[in-house]
Amino acid sequence: MNKELLQRNTRYVVGNRKAAIIGAGFVGASIAYALAIRDVAREIVLVDINHEKTDGEAQDIRHGIPSMGTVDLYAGDYQDCADCDLIIVTAGRGRKAGESRLDLTNENIKIMHSVIDSIGKYYMRGVILIISNPVDIMTYKVTEWMGLADGMVFGSGCMLDSSRFVRSIADYLDLNTGVINGYVVGEHGDAQVPVWSHVTVGGIPIKEYCEDVKIEWNEEIKNSIAEHTRMMGSEIIKAKGKTQYGIATCVCNLADAILNQRPTITSVSSTLHGEHGVRDVALSVPSVVGPAGVQQRIREKWASEEYRGFFDAVEQMRRIMAVLQS
Q: What are the backbone dihedrals phi and psi of residue 18, each rounded to the nearest 5 degrees, phi first?
A: -105, 135
Which amino acid makes up residue 221? I
Give, in degrees to the nearest 5, the angle at Cα 77 between 71 and 81. 65
Instruction: Please choose, from the candidates 48, 49, 41, the residue with its C-alpha nearest in 3D space to the C-alpha of residue 73.
Output: 41
> Which one of the listed residues 51, 63, 113, 188 is annotated catalytic?
188
Evaluate whether 198 touches 219 at the Cβ level (below 8 Å).
Answer: no
Angle, in degrees to the nearest 10, between helices 304-323 and 135-146: 60
**Which parts of the chain are beta strand (E)?**
18-22, 43-47, 72-75, 86-89, 127-130, 153-155, 180-181, 184-186, 192-194, 200-201, 204-205, 264-273, 279-290, 293-297
Rounded Cα distance between 136 and 260, Å, is 25
188 given a catalytic annotation: yes
Strand pairing class (86-89; 18-22):
parallel
Q: Which residues are catalytic?
A: 188
